[in-house]
Every structure is written in structure tokens, then in C-alpha cells.
Chains A and B, each alone.
Chain A
Amino acid sequence: MTPFERPVEELLSISAPLAVEMMTRFLRDEVTKAGFFKVVFGLSGGIDSAVVACLAARAFPREQILAVLMPYKTSSPSSVRDARTLVEQLELPFEVVDITPMVDAFFAEEPEASTLRRGNRMARERMCVLYDRSARDGALVVGTSNKTELLLGYGTQFGDLASAVNPIGDLYKTQIRQVARYLGVPRAILDKPPSADLWEDQTDEQELGFTYEEVDRLLYCMVDLQYSRRDLVDMGFAPRFVDAVARRVRVNQFKRRPPVIAKLSRRTIGVDFRYPRDWGM
């Protein structure tokens, strides 16, 4: 059976206990090494941040964790409800910050601003709140972007993509689901369609134009297994789908990298001045 024919859950199957153990240790190690004892993250009511919340709860004592719920007026009521259910279940300290006044004030003079601009602004407002809490509490910001989003560039630069450490960035959405089930994430969160929740009734799959299962299968074959375009098409992937996804990955590379610097000196940051991120920790 080719990777195109195998059930996606099987093709992308991971060992949830092992992955959870590694992510938990990763969090503990990278956070404490950086001289921090606390972590802060945004909790949206979606599956990715729910998994991060569960991992944090395994890695740290409750008093070292802060989950921040940051609804906007158009956010689905179920998002806040599901996020609250989770913090109650995990007994996590949390805070609710309504970002409506900040975002609306920003666009007060520009009522015609596009949904893209508004969505970006919301994502960046949430980032601002998290980094403010980071400075206030001496807490490291934990990222909640998964591998599918990172590869597709389905996120806002300096918005939801911003964080200090990200335990789930090497897991595809399909794998996040496996981990979430293992961690006991509530049914309501597991079952709902993934959504950036930036406007009413938005869903990721509708906006992207394909399902996570379809794109995860392709990305896994393309990125992890390094199949060529010809192999992928021979296997049964539609050529237009392959090209569209490959293009998305390519054009969004900038979101995954620090800004490019004009090289002028003998030793340029990121080019030939290369130290580990964990330098001096």
C-alpha cells in the first residue's frame, strides 16, 4: 500500500505516550534553563492550545502556569466555554482579557478594513497581551502553532506565530488529534471543526480549501518522507493540489525565519555568527 492509500491516522501515527513525555521534558528543560519558572499561553478553546495546556499541566506545578483567554466580540461563545471547561478540568490559573476594545479602537477610523487586516490585528493583540503578562509575571510564552500551520504559513507573523518555546510545532494537526485524545482533552474540543475564530463561522478547512487529513497526508509525504513531485503524482495526489501546497510552503518561508540581514561585515548574525538558541543557558 502506498502512503496515498494508507489510512491517514495510520500513516501519521505517533506514539502519544512517548511524544507527550518528550514534549513535557522539552518544556521543563527549555523553560527552566532559560531562567524562568512560569509559563503563559493563549487558550482559544481549540485543540492546539488545549494540548499545550495539558502539557504545561504535566510539566509544571499549577501555580507556575497562566492560561489567558482572549476573546473578541465575534468569537464563538463555544470557544470561551470550551476553554473554561478545560481550565476547570485541569485546575489551571487563568485570566480572561477581552480584546474587543483594543482592536475596535485601532480600526475606529477605518471601518472598511478587510477581514485579513482585522484578523492579523486580533492575533497581534493577543500576542501583545501574552508578552505583557510574560514581563509582568516572569513567564515564558509558550507557542501553540502546529506543524501543518507552520508549513502552510496559516498564521499571523508576530501574532499567533510568536512564542519563546513551542512544544507542538513538529506535530501535524492529525497527530495533534492523537495526542489530544491520549491527554484526555474534552470531547467538545476534539470534535469541533478547527477554526482560527477570527470571524463568525470561519473554519480552517473551508478557508484553506482542503481538509487537514488531505494536506497532512501530502505534507508528510513531501516533507518527512521526501517524495518527489513525480512520486506524489504517481501515487495518486492531484498535480494541482501538490503544486498549490508546495507553493504555499515556499512562499511562507519568511514566516518561519528571522528577518534577512544585509551582509556587510566579516561575521553576520545568522550567517556566520551561529550560536545555539540555548547559548548561555
Chain B
Amino acid sequence: MSLRVGLVQMRPALGDVAENARRHVMWVEKAKEAGCDLVIFPELSLTGYLLKDLAVDCARTAEDREVRQVIQASRQADILFGMVELSRGFIMYNSAVYASGGEVVYRHRKVYPPTYGMFEENRYFGRGKRVRAFSAHGSRFGIMICEDAWHPSIPYILAQDGALILIIPSASPARPAVGEMVGSQETWYRAIRTYAQLFGVYVLFANRVGVEDGVTFYGGSAVVDPFGEIVSSAPVFEEALLVADVNEEALRRSRVMTPLGRDEQLDVTVRELIRIYDRRYGEGADVGDPF
């Protein structure tokens, strides 16, 4: 497998799906020129992030014209992009779509739409119920949308499902402005480096830039190798295309040197989780609160 990825650190136009679709096609062309096999857009790249009621206006199915336009661009290179997905049951999801050769290969619905502090996603979006790795381009991928990655169960499940490359499309706001880099960026880098090293995977963190309602998204998109090293990162605050090669040899070496994946006792994990699950949700359980 040889894979050149392009992380598109873009600034979507808030609530303007047609304009964003046009920009997606443009970025794909640019990434194609740079030799990319896979072009990764940030979370909700087709709509912008702080949508509130605009979510309703921006919700689309994969059959909608603007969405088709982006999916069609995957004839040039594989694409992962973010959208407000309207399900057949008219539930809105914060989704990421992987398309290849003009077809949808996989769709991930955000499992943990955050609803606390400055976030109110669950007011608008349903919660995804599937966490699966999928095969494409001769490799195996797992998608976590932003907050998904703050729940270690998600990368754990994806790694167990065979993912070698974890993709994290994000819309991470910058705060607080205290240290050399914004606090949220520091926290993110710590998390993705840890995941990459412990799960022996590549992590591709594609974060957006721009300002919405006073909230600044910092960018700083990064590619982390399976040793936990940041091999490439984009500047903060600026639009950018971050191009990097995923090196299969690095995956092999990290997994041979530290075979954590081989030694993982999934049966122990599942048995213990079932025990906890039964206690928490079984007959007569005090549902929900583990304490």
C-alpha cells in the first residue's frame, strides 16, 4: 500500500452548502495536483459548524445535488468530507462520508455529538450507533468525528476492528490562549499522539480554521505516525493543504517492535464490559449512573 493523503484545512462558509461544495471540488483538484490519493476535509466541511437552526436548512441526503457533486469529485481521488446528513426517518446526523470512484464507500455518524459548555450538537443531531473500520484503497480506516475521539472506546473499537489509519475530521475551537499554543490544540496533540502509539496506527487529524460567531477554529491539522510522532503539521489559523505519505513500513516496524495489538485480550475486555453492562443496565439495575 502506498498512500498520499491531503488534509484540507479549510474555512467553510457557514450555512452555504452550494458554495462549500464548489470549494470542495476545487480543493480536490488542488490535492490531486499534489499527488494525493485521499483528500480529507474537516468536520461539517459542507456546512460550517455553529449552525444552530441552520442545521435544518443545511441537512442533505447523499442523493442531493450538491452532495452528489462532491461525491463525483472522488473519481479524481478518494474523499472524506463532513455534512449534516438527513436520514430516511428525518433524523439529522453530524456525518462523515468516505467516497471513492464516484461512490459512497462508508458513512460514519458522530456517536458523541457534544452538548455541554459551548456545544449544543445533541439539540440538533441524533447520535450515531455504529463504530466500524472499513477497507478502502488497500488499507483499513476508522473515522472518529471530533468529540468521538474524546471517548477512548471509539479508537479502541476501531483498532480492534483492524483500522490502521484513524481519521479525525474536526472543528475544534481555540481556547484558552494561555500557553505557546492554544490549550485545546495542546490537548488534542497529546491525545492523538497517545492513540497513535498505543494502537499502532496512523492518525490523521484534519481541523478547520476560520471564525464563526466569535469562535476561532485553530487548524493545526496533523499527521501522526504509529510511533506517536507528529510527522507533519499545518500552520495555525490559516487555510492550508497538508500533504503527507502514509508509510506502511512504519506501521510494520511499530507493530513488530511493540506488538500491543497482538497481545490485546479482546475476550477479557468484552467479558468485563458485559459484566459492567449487566450491572448497569440489566434487570433491576439503577440505569445509567455507575456511581
Contact = CB atoms under 8 A, between A and B. Distances in A.
B52 A275 contact: yes
Interface string A251-281: 0000000000000000000000111111111
B237 A25 contact: yes
A281 B210 CA distance: 13
A13 interface: yes
Contacts, number: 55
A91 interface: no
A276 B182 contact: no
Contacts of A273: 53
B212 A276 contact: yes
A274 B57 CA distance: 12
A15 B178 CA distance: 5
A58 to B, nearest CB: 14
B9 to A, nearest CB: 14
A280 B177 contact: no
Contacts of A19: 177
Nearest to B181: A18
A245 interface: no
B177 A26 contact: no
A14 interface: yes
A9 interface: no
B216 A279 contact: no
B179 to A, nearest CB: 6
Interface string A2-43: 000000000001110011011001100110010000000000
Interface residues of B, number: 22
Nearest to B179: A15
Interface string B180-206: 111000000000000000000000000
B104 interface: no
B174 A14 contact: no
Nearest to A19: B177
Given A19-B177, A281-B14, A29 B52 contact: no
B15 A26 contact: no
A29 B211 contact: yes
B50 interface: yes
A154 B53 CA distance: 33
B62 interface: no
Interface string B224-235: 000000000000
Contact of B216 (A13, A15, A22, A165): A22
A29 B177 contact: no
Nearest to A165: B214
Contacts of B177: 14-15, 18-19, 22
Nearest to B174: A22
A6 to B, nearest CB: 14
A181 to B, nearest CB: 16
Given A274-B52, A275-B52, A276-B52, A14 B176 contact: yes
B53 A25 contact: no
B179 A276 contact: no
A224 to B, nearest CB: 8
Given A276-B51, A279-B15, A25 B180 contact: no
A26 B214 contact: yes
Nearest to B176: A14
A30 to B, nearest CB: 6
Contacts of B181: 18
A21 B218 CA distance: 11
B263 interface: no
B194 to A, nearest CB: 24
A279 B54 contact: yes
A15 B177 CA distance: 6
B213 interface: yes
Nearest to B238: A25
A22 B211 CA distance: 9
A21 B176 CA distance: 13
B51 to A, nearest CB: 7
Contacts of B176: 14
A279 B216 CA distance: 16
Contact of A275 (B54, B174, B214): B54
Given A21-B237, A25-B237, A277 B213 contact: yes
B182 A278 contact: no
B212 A25 contact: no
A273 B53 CA distance: 7
A166 to B, nearest CB: 8
Interface in A37-83: none
B213 A18 contact: no
Contacts of A22: 174, 177, 216, 237
A192 to B, nearest CB: 26
17 contacts: A14-B176, A14-B178, A15-B178, A15-B179, A15-B180, A18-B180, A21-B237, A22-B237, A29-B211, A30-B211, A30-B214, A275-B52, A276-B15, A276-B52, A278-B14, A278-B213, A281-B14
Given A276-B14, A278-B213, 15 more contacts: A13-B178, A14-B177, A18-B177, A18-B182, A19-B177, A22-B177, A22-B237, A26-B216, A29-B210, A29-B211, A274-B52, A275-B54, A276-B52, A277-B214, A279-B14
Shortest Cβ-Cβ A-B pairs, 3 listed = A29-B211, A19-B177, A18-B177
